[in-house]
Amino acid sequence: MSTARDKIREKLFAVEVTDVQHYTDRLFTLRTTRPGTFRFEAGEFTMIGLDTGQEIIQRAYSMTNASYDEELSFLSIKVQDGAFTSRLQYIEVGQEMLVGKKPTGTLTLDAVAPGRNLYLFSTGTGIAPFMSLIQEPEIYNRYERIILNHTCRLQAELVFDHYLREGIHEHPLIGEEAAQQLLYYPTVTREDYYRTGRITTHMDDGSLWGELGLDAMDPEKDRAMVCGGPEMLDALVNELTSRGFDAGDRGEAGGYAIEKAFVG
Ligand SMILES: Cc1cc2nc3c(=O)[nH]c(=O)nc-3n(C[C@H](O)[C@H](O)[C@H](O)COP(=O)(O)OP(=O)(O)OC[C@H]3O[C@@H](n4cnc5c(N)ncnc54)[C@H](O)[C@@H]3O)c2cc1C
Ligand SMILES: NC(=O)c1ccc[n+]([C@@H]2O[C@H](COP(=O)([O-])OP(=O)(O)OC[C@H]3O[C@@H](n4cnc5c(N)ncnc54)[C@H](OP(=O)(O)O)[C@@H]3O)[C@@H](O)[C@H]2O)c1
């Protein structure tokens, strides 16, 4: 007789962990095998899960890998008393993880209209969907420049820093485009760094554009995507709305897109 646990497992692929890297006491990355039939669009998320033997615990996660990569990768927080990540943080290479069969989400390219520059604003693990998006060739055809902002509390939390400054330029498919068109704009809020402060401050005082040598964001020409905690999302949506940007959705491209799973 099939149990409730079996029924949940039917909606999930069993994959094997192939790599785990710990960066800080709050952040780590995971790589897993990819089932041949698992398809997703860059920017989407899916459920990932662990089977404890008694129950299956699942949480929403964005894939950080490109849609065409052979393996799946994820960036994860460690919440010490979190039901999921208090366990997931101890996962090791060779162990089983579960991956939802139905990825979804609204941070996809079809939610934003084509335009001049595309701004990707992220805090903490919110950079995850953007790591996938910036490895898609299409993004470089649609926009002249892609500006990737990552705001973290600490410098050590800028976990893709080295890849974004150098590694991505060696990427066989999009390396040359990234070198020409991708502008990385990290900022740190709780310790000294060469650039500090919240991104909203950098927009209000114009330093975001000043430092990159760009014209200020223009709702007629530029687009944005936002991913981070609820307060940051609110602040950025207010900021973009007051600058004249309208919200987009899948199939209804607009001036900016957020992950709707985060809203009410
Ligand atoms: C659409 C969507 C996509 C997501 N993608 C990712 C992802 O790619 N990587 C990821 O690590 N998490 C992601 N999350 C959050 C994730 O689903 C879980 O909340 C996280 O794994 C913690 O689970 P938990 O059971 O340990 O703690 P929970 O009980 O879920 O969370 C406890 C508290 O920890 C804080 N918290 C939870 N997640 C984070 C986070 N990522 N960064 C900072 N603080 C956090 C919040 O204050 C939360 O109330 C996503 C959530 C949604 C809705
Ligand atoms: N697909 C998705 O939707 C998806 C994918 C991955 C992650 N996520 C979500 O992303 C979130 C990441 O957590 P987090 O961003 O809270 O991580 P965090 O590690 O706590 O980082 C917070 C950073 O955001 C800044 N910040 C906070 N409030 C702000 C505001 N109002 N305006 C501008 N900047 C602000 C903070 O600055 P201070 O130091 O000044 O406070 C800090 O630098 C989680 O909620 C996670 O679930 C979503």
Rounded to an integer, the average pLDDT of 236-254 is 96
Rounded to an integer, the average pLDDT of 62-81 is 98
Which residues, 6 or more positions from 185, have their beta carbon under 8 angstroms from its beta carbon?
147, 148, 149, 150, 195, 202, 208, 211, 212
Which ligand lies nearest to the CA atom of residue 72 in the structure?
Answer: 1
The CATH number of the domain holding residue 66 is 2.40.30.10
Of the pLDDT bands very low, low, confident and very high (cuts 50, 70, 90), residue 26 is very high
Domain termination site, one of 100, 135, 163? 100
Q: Are residues 135 and 177 in the same domain?
A: yes
Rounded to an integer, the average pLDDT of 80-85 is 97
Token pair for residue 208? 């975001």
Please report the pLDDT score of residue 2 as a whole number. Answer: 73
Of the pLDDT bands very low, low, confident and very high (cuts 50, 70, 90), residue 109 is very high
Judge contact between 164 and 203, C-beta under 8 A.
no
The CATH number of the domain holding residue 160 is 3.40.50.80
Res. 234: pLDDT tops 70: yes
Q: For the chain, how many structural domains are there in total?
A: 2
Domain termination site, one of 40, 70, 100? 100
Average pLDDT, the chain: 97
Longest dimension (CA), the chain: 65
Q: Are residues 241 and 118 in the same domain?
A: yes
Judge contact between 231 and 199, C-beta under 8 A.
no
Q: Are residues 118 and 86 in the same domain?
A: no
Task: Decide whether any atom of ligand 2 lies within 6 Å of the 196 Cβ.
Answer: no
Rounded to an integer, the average pLDDT of 152-170 is 98
For atom 21 of ligand 2, the residue with the nearest CA is: 124
Please report the pLDDT score of residue 1 as a whole number. Answer: 64
Please report the pLDDT score of residue 264 as a whole number. Answer: 52
Please report the pLDDT score of residue 34 as a whole number. Answer: 98
Q: Are residues 32 and 76 in the same domain?
A: yes
Domain with 91 in it: 4-100
Q: Are residues 92 and 117 in the same domain?
A: no
Res. 262: pLDDT tops 80: no
Please report the pLDDT score of residue 251 as a whole number. Answer: 87
Please report the pLDDT score of residue 199 as a whole number. Answer: 98
Q: Are residues 120 and 242 in the same domain?
A: yes
Judge contact between 64 and 74, C-beta under 8 A.
yes
Q: Are residues 96 and 114 in the same domain?
A: no
Q: Are residues 19 and 149 in the same domain?
A: no
Judge contact between 141 and 133, C-beta under 8 A.
no
Task: Decide whether any atom of ligand 2 lies within 6 Å of the 195 Cβ.
Answer: no
Judge contact between 104 and 260, C-beta under 8 A.
no
Q: Are residues 122 and 87 in the same domain?
A: no
Q: Are residues 39 and 141 in the same domain?
A: no
User: CB atoms < 10 A from the CB of 214, how many?
Assistant: 17
Task: Decide whether any atom of ligand 2 lies within 6 Å of the 235 Cβ.
Answer: yes
Q: Are residues 208 and 168 in the same domain?
A: yes
Judge contact between 147 and 224, C-beta under 8 A.
no
User: CB atoms < 10 A from the CB of 90, how many?
Assistant: 11
Q: 10: CA distance to ligand 2 center in Å?
A: 33
Domain termination site, one of 67, 100, 133? 100
Candidates 131, 18, 124; CA nearest to 79 is 124
Task: Decide whether any atom of ligand 1 lies within 6 Å of the 77 Cβ.
Answer: yes
Q: Are residues 158 and 234 in the same domain?
A: yes
